[in-house]
Amino acid sequence: MTSTIRKTPATAAPRRPLRIGFIALNDAAPIIVAHENGFFQKHGLSVELSREVGWATVRDKVIHRELDAAHALGAMVISTNLGLNCLPCECLTGFVLNTNGNCVTLSEDLWNRGVRDAVTMRDEIIRSRHDRTYVFGVVFAHSSHRIHICDWLRSGGIDPEKDVRIVVVPPPQLFRNLAAGTIDGYCVGDPWNSLAVREKIGWCPAISPDLAPGHAEKVVMVRSDFAETRAEEHLAMIAALSEAAALCDQTNFRPELCKILARREYMNVPARVIQSSLVGPFDYGHGRTVSADDFIHYHRNGANDPTAAKAAWLIDGFNRHRFLPAGITVPADLGARSFRSDLYHLAQKPSRTSRHDKTLVHA
């Protein structure tokens, strides 16, 4: 099931709007703000947003051209190019939506059993090894979230492949599964961590800046042939998103951003839940709070540039944690082919961003 939100420029109606998919997560904010605040229109684009249920749906809709572009996991661009659990499809990103933004969240039951970090999680696994296997949820098999949870577990001496089960659950459903007791923890972007803390069903032992500061998280994913055959629209989209991301990182805009994201057609959660990670203080649970300044970066510190180094961190995670099936090798140029810094910089050129006095036509 999807939810569609459409806006078109007042000047001329194109034959078909550019269709962009997103998942109900705070890191979709630049896409939503570009839509709500007129940045797509400013850059001559007519856009239709489509709220999707899970990442596999997003991937498949991009592959089959049901979406022109999508809020996507950075790792998904790489896995789709490799054909991991899907048809191989040449995809790329010219824009990183955010760095940081994830949490590991554990159940209150684990807190009550004495778990405080990965080391005490290992102790609990040893104590309970004859009675149960602990289950952790991630949003996608090939994701930064799985890298995070594996890194966190290994830091405590836990083998993610032998000592626990890791299952895939769509982001909005993780909170419900934790509340129901079908999983014992998860790694996801907000607001689904802050909601668990607020409802007192979970707490956070670690967040992105604790685990991998500055890692690339979500991106805008397109088919490579879309970037080639509809290059002007693609670059206009990147330019619009750049302006929106810069606005999302302005401190004085964050309270308004929380209200926008909270709306039913977007996150559909109370604004006060979203505020924890966007305005702060961020609440880990059980009395521990910190500034939210570095929880998520939408634009700061070169966040939007899809550099080879950002792709390399993801590929390294795939290799370190043996995410790749036997027989699959990563081409040496995959990072540079998937994360296109050149397209990002081309979209920023004043000579290109200034000429948007008419609506682009969508075939």
Residue 67 lies in a domain: yes
Please give the structure tokens belonging to residue 154.
Answer: 């290994």
What single-letter DSSP state applies at residue 350?
H
Residue 8, burial from CB neighbour count under 10 angstroms (0-12, 13-18, 19+): middle
Both 89 and 200 in a single domain? Answer: no
Q: 72 and 163 in one domain?
A: no
Q: Return the pLDDT at 22.
A: 98
- Rounded to the nearest integer, the mean pLDDT of the chain is 93
Asked if 106 and 89 sit in the same domain, the reply is no
- Does 265 map to a domain? no
Task: Give the separation between CA 272 and CA 353, rounded to whole angstroms.
Answer: 36
Residue of 113, 201, 206, 190 lying closest to 156 (CA atoms): 206
Query: What does pTM read for this prediction?
Result: 0.92
Pair (106, 66) in one structural domain: no
Report, as an integer, the average pLDDT of 222-245.
97
Q: Average pLDDT, stretch 228-246?
A: 97
Q: How many domains does the chain contain in total?
A: 2
Domain of 127 in residue numbering reads as 102-211
Separation CA 39–CA 37 (nearest Å): 6
pLDDT given for residue 361 in this prediction: 43
**83 and 107 inside one domain:** no
Residue 115 backbone class (left: φ over 0; alpha: ψ -120 to 50; beta: rest): beta
288-343: per-residue pLDDT in tens? 999 999 999 999 999 999 999 999 999 999 999 999 998 888 999 999 999 999 99
In the listed set 188, 211, 234, which residue is the last one of a domain according to the structure? 211
Q: Is residue 112 part of a domain?
A: yes
Q: Is the pLDDT of residue 248 over 90?
A: yes
User: Are the beta carbons of 174 and 192 closer than 8 angstroms?
Assistant: yes
Domain closes at, from 185, 211, 237 = 211
- For residues 304 and 347, membership in a common domain is answered with yes
Q: Note whether 224 and 348 are same-domain residues.
A: yes
Interval 125-161: pLDDT, tens: 999 999 999 999 999 999 999 999 999 999 999 999 9
Q: Which tokens is 338 given?
A: 């998937």
CA distance 256 to 254: 5
Mean pLDDT of 220-226: 98
Q: Output the pLDDT for position 326.
A: 87
227 and 167 co-located in one domain: no
Phi, psi of 134 (to 5 degrees): -75, 140
User: Does residue 359 register a pLDDT over 60?
Assistant: no
Q: Say whether both 237 and 151 belong to one domain.
A: no
Give the sign of the dihedral formed by CA 86, CA 91, CA 92, CA 96. negative
Q: Which residues pair with 73 in a beta bridge?
A: 218
Residue 350 is predicted with a pLDDT of 80
Same domain, 52 and 108: no
Indicate whether 191 pLDDT > 70.
yes
| Confidence category of residue 363, pLDDT binned at 50, 70, 90 | very low
The stretch 17-32 carries a mean pLDDT of: 97
Model pLDDT for residues 29-79, shown as the tens digit of each residue: 999 999 999 999 999 999 999 999 999 999 999 999 999 999 999 999 999
Cβ neighbors of 71 (< 8 A, separation 6 or more) are 20, 21, 22, 23, 25, 27, 28, 31, 58, 97, 218, 220
In angstroms, the CA 48 to CA 237 distance is 12
| Residue 205: CATH number of its domain | 3.40.190.10
Same domain, 54 and 137: no
The residue with greater pLDDT, 347 or 363, is 347
Please list, in sequence order, all residues whose beta carbon lies within 8 angstroms of the beta carbon of residue 348, skipping any fewer than 6 positions away: 239, 242
Tell me if 46 is assigned to some domain. Answer: yes
- Residue 304 pLDDT: 98
Dump pLDDT digits (tens) for 72-131. Answer: 999 999 999 999 999 999 999 999 999 999 999 999 999 999 999 999 999 999 999 999
